Structure 1
């Protein structure tokens, strides 16, 4: 690494106490950036934060991330601070040996130029000239794989970047490189997960179609009824899986939106024009292993209400609510039908739907209440908001 020393840079060299304070600040900035990058899954935000930290740590106005898109193509100004409007995300900078960033990227070594107008190694990119930049420092961003690009800090002011500044920038770039690798791994995992989800949904819908065809060919009423029930249930599971996939982010599901979409899909698929549903669902982020069983429970209870709460020559009214109360979740399904028979005990029920509900409730370590309320039946499920571990 070559560092250019000039009369101006010597005049702007900080005193020993100032130098020590600046290095401590730089170390703290890198450590805090590492924590930020570990928590944040938004790569654009992480790149922007890296630029902000670089500018703050070197006390300069400009910093940027230059991304290498394809071999032989210019860098993309992927993120940055201090640059003119409309440049970030669009501007391009040469990636060859004739630019500071390209020189660092091609040689794999940090580059300091404390006086760009006197440089003999490379030209000054037009982007820097347009912003009055007179000095720059560049380091390569790399994780475990191929280099991603270059992290660069630029200044209009006279002064000098030092080897200590390079060490700060390289530590920041290395941390950023690991964050980029982490995000790439997560994206690869999401792509595989989406493909698996798609195949599972298709397989479930195929099973539902086969059951429906068998139902049409069945002779006895009992067999027809059993096949209809099985086909409906498999179709419901497929819709739950689809809605769960649509509502999920990297780590969680916004369950209120998921439940609304699931209920709307279920009511539409059953083609019930004689029933109204009132739904109240709070926006709560849940882990997928908590959202999936709760979604199945809600679907089973809704199908049960639609089946048993029919009113002759009158519309049925169903209610579905979901809320978080401290560390607990509460799901309630109610109807205005004839209600449950006296002495009804869910644990003694022989119906497949009720047995499935009780099994799912045990899975989420919850409680289940079934009783009559007002004119109809009401079912309440409560469980911890988070699973064990």
Structure 2
């Protein structure tokens, strides 16, 4: 019968294993540590965990301590009628062999004698719900009784192992499912991005082919708006997410692309950015991008009186406000808004109407000004 010191040692082993199993997410590492600690608690040199294979007809040595190299992870044992493992699982209780030389109930594998094992105890491990996982086996190199206290300790140990194994199995399954979904998501984003790119190219090709200047301008405008959607999907694809978009690279790339495309027609403008680091949901980033698209396009077309935009400046700033607020200010140093009619009030012009509609979609406070050029300020919540 274990003395008080041994009982305290076993309680400590249970506590140490419980703490270790909470820190680690590696099942093999946890099972190996379980074998090491149980051998330490019972004073045996050999211990192993046998896992029932998918066919239910055999077990393999998933983890172990004290065995020669090449056994753990490779040894497979049949679960037949003469198997002590099969019997232990069937009766759902520990099965003890005090001395394998005197054992006549079961056929024991030869490698046990090769390692000097004499006494063996099988302890079944069950997952929550009663499904058998396998067995914890402790092997002694000397004949041993394995008393009631030993068996009670091992049953407690196996009862702890079951939920730990179940948790890691579920965690692994969830991780695999998540990785599969992320792969599918990236594939879908990639296809959407490519499809939008194809539509953009078709619109631009059509714009080059039409003879009407008005139709060409309208198609070019449609292409630029589609480009906003393509850019959003591209940045989400690169980031590997669907939830949030980093605003700074999005705004800078969008504005730079617009100015680069129109550089041959309107001349080169200087761009100024002052954008704080913030992430926005795509449902906010898309209408904001369309507003930027309209403002920059109109600045290039009209702010500099239809002449070269050389020397012109277009600025965009983004400021994070309290309570998840965002202030976006876009401006140019052109000739400003016409005195009549006031676009902010009348909503004249397709671009102005679209900006107003998009601002309402964002539930944004919209403010136009025209002191030194044209400026548009938006304030909205990023929630």
> 1:211-234: per-residue Cα shift (whole Å, max 9, x none)?
223323434322222222321221
Deviation string 1:62-95 (CA, Å, 9 cap, x unpaired) is: 0000111034533101100000111100012232
1:187 is paired with a residue whose SS is helix
CA distance 1:232–1:24, shift in 2 (3 Å): same
Query: CA–CA distance in 2 between the matches of 1:238 and 1:360?
Result: 28
Aligned to 1:351, the other structure's residue is in SS state helix
User: Closer, same or farther in 2 for the Cα pair 1:93/1:227, shift >3 Å?
Assistant: same
Q: Which residues in structure 2 correspond to 1:115-134 (within 5 Å)? A: 115-134=99-118
- Note if contact 1:29-1:57 (Cα within 8 Å) is conserved in structure 2: yes
CA–CA separation in structure 2 for the residues paired with 1:121 and 1:357? 79
Tell me the residue number matched to 2:128. 144
Counterpart of 2:57 in structure 1 is 73
Distance 2:26 2:51 in 1: 16
Q: Name the counterpart of 2:87.
A: 103
CA distance in 2: counterparts of 1:356 and 1:35, whole angstroms: 51
Q: Distance in 2 between matches of 1:25 and 1:136?
A: 21
Structure 1 pair 357–42 and aligned structure 2 pair: CA distance change class (3 A): farther
Tell me the distance in 2 between the aligned counterparts of 1:30 and 1:209.
56
- Structure 2 residues without counterparts, runs of 5 or longer: 208-217, 261-268, 279-287, 297-314, 329-383
Describe the shift of the 1:164–1:299 C-alpha distance in structure 2 as closer, same or farther (beyond 3 A).
farther
Alpha-carbon RMSD across the aligned residues, in angstroms, is: 3.9
Q: Larger Rg: 1 or 2?
A: 2
How far the C-alpha of 1:98 sits from its partner, in A, is: 2.1
CA distance in 2: counterparts of 1:108 and 1:355, whole angstroms: 71
Please give the TM-score of this superposition, normalised by the length of structure 1.
0.60
Gaps of 5+ in 1: 1-13, 245-291, 311-336, 369-389
The partner residue of 1:45 within 9, 25, 29 is: 29
Query: What TM-score results when the alignment is normalised by the length of structure 2?
Result: 0.61
**SS of structure 2 residue aligned to 1:211:** helix
Q: Which gives a bigger RCO, structure 1 or 2 (Cα 8 Å, sep 6+)?
A: 1
Sort the Cα spacing of 1:176 and 1:19 in 2 relative to 1 into closer, same or farther, 3 A. same
Encode CA deviations 1:315-371: one digit per residue, 9 max, x unaligned: xxxxxxxxxxxxxxxxxxxxxx97737xx57799963799998689987x99x9xxx
Other-structure match for 2:183? 198
Q: For 2:272, what is the secondary structure of its paired residue?
A: coil
Q: 1:40 to 1:223 in 2, by over 3 A?
A: same
By how many angstroms is 1:141 displaced? 0.9
| Structure-2 separation of matches of 1:298 and 1:96 | 66
Partner residue, 1:87: 71
